[in-house]
Each structure stands twice: as C-alpha cells, then as structure tokens.
Amino acid sequence: MHITVVPASPKTGLATIRALLADPRQPTIRGYYRNLSKVPAELAAQHPRFEAVRGDVEDLETLDFAGSDAVFNITPPLYQEGRDIVAHARVVSENVKTAVRKAGVRKVVLLSSVGAQYGSGTGEILSNHAAEVALADAAPEVAFVRCTYFMENWATALETLPAGFFFSTLTPLDFPLPMVAIKDIGLTCADELLTPPSSSPSPIIYELRGPREYTTVDVQQAIAQATGKEIEVRPVEKDGLDAFYAAVFPPSVAKLFAEMNRSFLEGGILALDPEPTKGETKYGKTELGEVIRGLVGVDELD
C-alpha cells in the first residue's frame, strides 16, 4: 500500500509515519513538508519505504497524490494575529480534497478533535470543524479521528519546572479530562490508513482517548515521580484564562485558546457534550506517566 501524509511535519504526522514504518503490512510512505530542511534526521536517513517531498497545503499546485491508497491529513495550526483560522482551515482542506479527487484516492483519514462537531463556542477547535465539513465527502471512505487533549501539551508547563512550579489551566485541580498520547494517535491513524475501505457508511467518526482520564493533580504527581522532586502547581482559574493566553499568543489567537480551554472545563460545551460522537470510542494504552517521563529532561533539572 502507498500512504501519503500531508503535512508530515506536525508531531502527529511523525508519530503516524513511525507507526506506518513499523507496521508488518510494510506500506510505502510519502510525507509532504513545506520546508524540506525540517525532515527529521531519523527519516532523512533515507528509509527505503519513506520519501519526503516539498509541498504546502496552502498551495494546491504543490500537491500530487497520484498512486496513494490513502491520504492522512492534519489541519495545521495557525498562530498569526488577525488571520481567520476557520477560513484558513477551509482553504487548506479544500485544497486537499481537490488533490484527493484528482488522484482518485479511495480513503482519507483526518486527524480531528473532540468537539469538531460543534460550529461555535470551541475556539481553536473550529479549525477542525471546518476541516471535517470540507472533507466529509472527499473520497469514497473518509475517517475522522477525533482526538482528546494531547498528553504532550504539558510540555509547555515544563518550561517553569526549574523554578519549582508549573501553571495549569485545567481547573479545579481534581477535574478529570480525557487525554491521549501522540504515540497512540500515530498507531491508531496508521491502522486506520492501512485498513482498506469497507462498506460502512462514510464518514466513519470516532473519539480517541488514552487509557483513563487525568487531573492536574495526576500531572503534578507524574512530574514529581519523573523528577524525584516536589513541584508546586499554580492554577489558572477560568476568569484568568484570557490574560494567561494573552501573555503568550497574539490577541486573536489568545482569544481562541481561552475559548477552547473554557469549552472543556466544567459547564463548557465539550464537558456537557450535547451532541456526543456517535461512533465507538477507541483507547490508547500509553499512560500519562510515560509521556511525562519522556517530556521531562531530568538531566536539565539537575
């Protein structure tokens, strides 16, 4: 089988390529990079079944999916002030759809998000909603893998670890949230890509979670275990989210991240989930502790 990953540079793209390369079905893989100097060393070392090509989902002319049995699409995040993330997601998804149809590809797998079914109130997840709307009929079979919160998002919290604390926007501190490891996203998406189209109605939609839900207290304990040091948590309460994100992102991006964050806290649309995903829920096996151990550069803290 021949699988195309577009774009290949997001963390989830790399995880899926790794899982495809390790799979006994031995597919060949083509990864699209808008900048070929970003191809990771482990892939640039010319794996015989992997090919990196230059292409940008913003530029239809650079996309050629001829010969692909399946296409894996990720909607790239946009962090630029004043740019409409929904309009951008629509444009790049339409480009992918056009290229898929032109090449007669029979299956598309979209990395999506929990809450992508909602057209308002979810902040940055609205880009995933726009992608789902655009790609729903792109190919005879389309699969939306709606991922929960990435465990690797906690990487940003690690920046303050040397000072002995981390910020958490997941409050109250004992509020549980489904989370999934990027490694498990890669394994699930690779398996979906290698499963030939079936007679099931398209699009196929499911949620992808980790083995359990986790709270900020669980994160605090995982960091303490990984580092062998006690770590203070500084909660960012709901009404402080706008100011918190405004300190790290341009204003329009900060607004979207604050809205997304509120949407999964108590009373938010993702927590209430009035129109839950109807398909089955899949569960990754990787525990938060394993991801935190991987993220924490223990040596750097010493």
Q: Tell me which residues touch ligand NAP (CB under 6 A).
A: 7, 9-12, 34-35, 38, 56-58, 74-77, 111, 113, 127-128, 147, 149-150, 153
Minimum CB separation of residue 129 from ligand NAP in Å reads 10
Looking at beta carbons only, is 148 or 227 nearer to ligand NAP?
148
Which strand (E) or helix (H) includes residue 281?
Answer: strand 281-283
Three-class DSSP labels, 34-56: CCHHHCCHHHHCCCCCEEEEECC
List helix spans (H) across 23-154: 41-44, 85-103, 126-135
Residue with the two structure tokens 């690779």: 190
> Which residue lies nearer to ligand NAP by CB, 12 or 169?
12
Nearest distance from C-beta of residue 243 to ligand NAP, angstroms: 21
Separation of alpha carbons 233 and 78, rounded Å = 29
| Closest listed residue to residue 190, CA positions, set 89, 111, 277 | 111
Give the dihedral sign, CA 232/122/268/241: positive
CB 118 within 8 A of CB 208: no
Between 72 and 202, name the residue whose CB sits nearer to ligand NAP: 72
How near is the Cβ of 211 to ligand NAP at its closest, in Å? Answer: 17
**Shortest distance in whole angstroms from residue 128 CB to ligand NAP:** 5
Rounded to 5 degrees, what angle do the CA atoms 186, 192, 198 make? 175
Contact 215, 177 (CB under 8 A): yes
Task: Give the nearer residue to ligand NAP in terms of CB position, either 77 or 140.
Answer: 77
Would you say 57 or 181 has its CB closer to ligand NAP?
Answer: 57
CB of 204 to ligand NAP, least distance (A): 17
Closest-CA residue to 38 (of 51, 52, 28): 52
Q: Which two tokens stand for residue 137?
A: 């009929």
Count CB-CB contacts under 10 A for residue 256. Answer: 21
Q: Number of C-alpha atoms within 13 angstroms, CB side, residue 256?
A: 21
Q: How far is the CB of 151 from ligand NAP (least distance, A)?
A: 9
What values do phi and psi take at 172, rounded to 5?
Answer: -55, 165
Closest separation in Å from C-beta 30 to ligand NAP: 14
Residue pair 130/123 in contact (Cβ under 8 Å)? The answer is: no
Q: In this complex, which beta carbon is closest to ligand NAP, that of residue 120 or of residue 198? A: 120
Shortest CB 6 distance to ligand NAP, Å: 7
Radius of gyration of the chain (CA): 19
Nearer to ligand NAP, 113 or 171 (CB): 113
